[in-house]
Copies of this chain bind each other. A is one copy, B any other.
């Protein structure tokens, strides 16, 4: 392998580990705006729907079978399942299921899916130790802030190198959140962050396999255990995040410390969290959105001669699969995504079922989709033109796809998305009750009424 690397260690970093530990341990409960607090509830709700939706996926069953070989104590619920396992194993499986459909939340600045590692650990811990809903929301906001700020620090170099940033920052978010829920003091929280710092989880090579959703699950578990260990006096470096041989400088050659310290406690990264309307990688959302809009303008699949996409280079790099053979491969095919958008007006998990991806009319339409890279098009945009058999030409330009910070999904749309994943697992009535419990989580005495609703 060819290499040409010169890395100069930074010995003058601010005391990032201590700064974040003090912030997590001492920031006031609900020490942020109502908008931030509402976003936290949206984040939690979206996470839970995804986890319930994939709760009987083969990945969940395989992981649970492995966990069951440890004969776990029935401490906590697994979202969507009747099984109860120890809280760390519940964190693992919740994290896997929340990311299995690629339908979870996205912090667009870093493409971290922050709720997976953080909420997946928080809910079982809260259930076992009896935390209030307020404490859970507080910990969720703070944990996500830690993960995303550390992500900002090293992004994009860290991601470009091949790390799956959700799991390589997520254990820090999970450790911070669990430390908060366990009421650890600043010094203990620093130790929890330090123990977690040694455990980044995730390689991009795993994309397309079950190990991709394992990353947030493993990170959730690692963060929770780090906090439990710190609570009992386990020690780590107090400079584990920033030292020359600490996390940031080992996993990346970029470390922009201002991302940690800037507006800490004033700007909350959860404000920039977004939710996917489409059950696939974020890069093809603008293209799908455009095709949904073509459909709304009356374009029918049978009228299409061809569809021309002009897109950012990442679209073809990540999702350029022309002939997807099954649902999973369909998620890596902008061609299938566009066909689904135009035929169904949506691209939720059902539209990535094997039988849809191989259905004749869907295959026929996707083969009419042509994509070219246009360097003038940004990652969040797409330029789509439908050429119809009657000679008409219909053009749609998407600047920001639905689900972006600029065009967020409404609360009602989030509820509809939740129903789409949850109704088949726990039924529509229970889903309605669960949605109410999610919106009211910040006022709940404990999480037991909520967790009781998370399975059939």
Residues of B within 8 A of A88 (CB): 70
Tell me the nearest residue of chain B to A2, going by C-beta.
B8
CB contacts under 8 Å to B, within A234-256, are: 234-237, 239-240, 243-247, 249-250, 253-255
Cβ of A162 under 8 Å from chain B: yes
Cβ of A264 under 8 Å from chain B: no
Q: How many residues of A contact B (CB 8 A)?
A: 74
Cβ of A19 under 8 Å from chain B: no
Take A7-B5, A10-B1 as given contacts and tell me if A214 and B234 are in contact as well, using a CB distance cutoff of 8 Å.
Answer: yes
Cβ of A199 under 8 Å from chain B: yes
Tell me the nearest residue of chain B to A257, going by C-beta.
B1
Residues of B within 8 A of A66 (CB): 225, 228-229, 231-232, 234
CB within 8 A of A62: which of B202, B203, B215, B233?
B233
Take A8-B3, A66-B232, A86-B70 as given contacts and tell me if A203 and B198 are in contact as well, using a CB distance cutoff of 8 Å.
Answer: yes
Take A7-B5, A87-B70 as given contacts and tell me if A206 and B194 are in contact as well, using a CB distance cutoff of 8 Å.
Answer: yes
Residues of B within 8 A of A143 (CB): none
CB contacts under 8 Å to B, within A129-162, are: 157, 161-162
Chain A positions 1 through 22: 1 when the CB is less than 8 Å from some CB of chain B, otherwise 0: 1111111111000000000000
Q: Nearest Cβ in chain B — how far from A39, in angstroms?
A: 30
Since A4-B6, A203-B246, A204-B245 are in contact, a sample of 13 more A-B pairs with Cβ atoms closer than 8 Å, ordered by chain A residue number, is A1-B253, A4-B7, A5-B5, A65-B232, A66-B229, A70-B86, A73-B73, A194-B206, A198-B214, A205-B247, A210-B234, A211-B240, A214-B234
